[in-house]
Structure 1
């Protein structure tokens, strides 16, 4: 069926991506957390606890849900209240720690880094098989600029529990970038090593394309003539090959089935449009059906507007 032969859903920013239960919880929290009453806190904590108790061994979905909730609750009292009430609940400790890190990213620092570390280590003791306390510690390591041996110690703890943890690979990609503690060469070495070992549909499959989009943005940010010819990035070997490796598979039904797959499809649609590969982008937009992930669209402005503009470009002439 042609893309425009059926009714197209309007673009909508969806931090929950394809997780309907998480989406319902976010709507409920949005409706109730602002009252500040004890009863409201009790209700929200019960809802959080119930959702996070589902599928306890699905580390991919658990990490996704924790990360989305942490971003949603950053700056809120709710996660802190839950952790204070139930200091032996690993979910409460991890969520509180992750909200503190998410808030720190917007504030430029982590006021109580030692307290966040203690929460993560306590959660790791209470739930030794769970990778999420170590995922949060990896995020702390980036904010606090820990020394490389300490960072890799935490990294090893994550992948020992969840070999292809998407959040961990993206976090390490950031840590190894020249903007943080590494270099372009270290990023390429990390990506090459991963690509040689990783299943094509692993949750961390977008690590290489993420690195390429970040490099493309770095060229755009330089401005001037380089920004004008930034599209050439996608015709050069590394950019073109990164797209070629995934363009024909990711949009196939069922190929990507991890929790954040729609975010990876957003990334692919963005890169294909940047490379002017519109025909390939059409199938990706059809698969997304209007589900927008904020990044990388927000680099150009409002993510929903940028998504809609790109979708119109991809489908022009049909």
Structure 2
């Protein structure tokens, strides 16, 4: 599936599925079902979608994450687990409970969700997904760092460059949660030193920089006025230069969430005052907008459209 598409007449739209057309179709069907009990056709569609991802853990994680968000308001996850055997229904219910927990700020029954992950790991010992979800659960519970690092090791032993797990760990290590700016930097440096430049974790450093920019701007006063200067520091400027030189090239980014990383790069360039340089990135993005990080400045469609017009 190519991520390089021309702007459509309909204009930019937020698409959680990004360029995964099949995923978008099933996501909309799950979302439109509301709270009605799912039928076997819906379950078959979800199972087929995950099966078609094969052994690509990056594609599977993207599909799991998007479908879990869509299914969170309904009883789909529980019905699927009760009707079918296997690891995927258990992982999915754990992921849905995690989505609900993030929205509420706490999980009603974190132990039960974690049990689903452990049982799924026993059924499918080579699958990183149960451990990815467990990492998110432990993060929400504010568990001790040693527990999260142990689960992260389980993920990376099965999928060394797992984007979802890396982002979970990055946010856990933030000053807002259980870490500090220096612990985040250490984590990013470790990734940068070991991961291939076009791997699924390529955008983690930019996520950390955008978080830092937002954190500084939120303080208000003089610090907020000087937030843009963060992008002139050698570390941030170097990260932007490297990404700008490679990411927009056709075929360079091949992972499932490549369009999300391109949205991230376009936003970071805008915040750094490098709007004209973002033109090639907006061209590569086309009309697929991600909610974050554009929502940091207001309505994501309005912000994206405004800066896209400026850049192009």
* TM-score band w.r.t. shorter chain: over 0.9
Q: Distance in 1 between matches of 2:7 and 2:62?
A: 31
When residues 70 and 241 of structure 1 are mapped into structure 2, their CA distance, relative to the original with a 3 A threshold, is: same
Structure 2: gaps spanning 5 or more residues:
1-5
When residues 6 and 287 of structure 1 are mapped into structure 2, their CA distance, relative to the original with a 3 A threshold, is: closer
Maintained 8 Å contact 1:212/1:242:
no
Q: Distance in 2 between matches of 1:301 and 1:6?
A: 22
Structure 1: gaps spanning 5 or more residues:
none
Whether 1:242 aligns to 2:239 is: yes
Q: In the alignment, which residue of structure 2 is the partner of 1:162?
A: 159
Q: Distance in 2 between matches of 1:231 and 1:8?
A: 34
When residues 151 and 6 of structure 1 are mapped into structure 2, their CA distance, relative to the original with a 3 A threshold, is: closer
| TM-score, L = length of structure 2 | 0.95
Whether 1:261 aligns to 2:258 is: yes
Maintained 8 Å contact 2:7/2:286:
no
Deviation for aligned residue 1:162: 0.3
Maintained 8 Å contact 1:251/1:284:
yes
Whether 1:97 aligns to 2:97 is: no
When residues 7 and 116 of structure 1 are mapped into structure 2, their CA distance, relative to the original with a 3 A threshold, is: closer
Superposed counterparts of 1:115-194, under 5 Å:
115-194=112-191
RMSD over equivalenced CA pairs, Å: 1.5
Q: Summarize deviations over 1:42-69 as a string: whole Å, max 9, x none.
A: 2211211111111321111001100111
Q: Distance in 1 between matches of 2:222 and 2:86?
A: 54
Q: In the alignment, which residue of structure 2 is the partner of 1:23?
A: 24
Deviation for aligned residue 1:154: 0.3
When residues 305 and 168 of structure 1 are mapped into structure 2, their CA distance, relative to the original with a 3 A threshold, is: same
| TM-score, L = length of structure 1 | 0.93
Whether 1:232 aligns to 2:229 is: yes
Maintained 8 Å contact 2:27/2:66:
no
Q: Distance in 2 between matches of 1:238 and 1:124?
A: 38
When residues 240 and 68 of structure 1 are mapped into structure 2, their CA distance, relative to the original with a 3 A threshold, is: same
Q: Distance in 2 between matches of 1:7 and 1:146?
A: 45
How many residues align? The count is 307
Q: Secondary structure at the match of 1:97?
A: helix
Q: In the alignment, which residue of structure 2 is the partner of 1:219?
A: 216
Given candidates 77, 80, 86, the residue that maps to 1:79 is 77
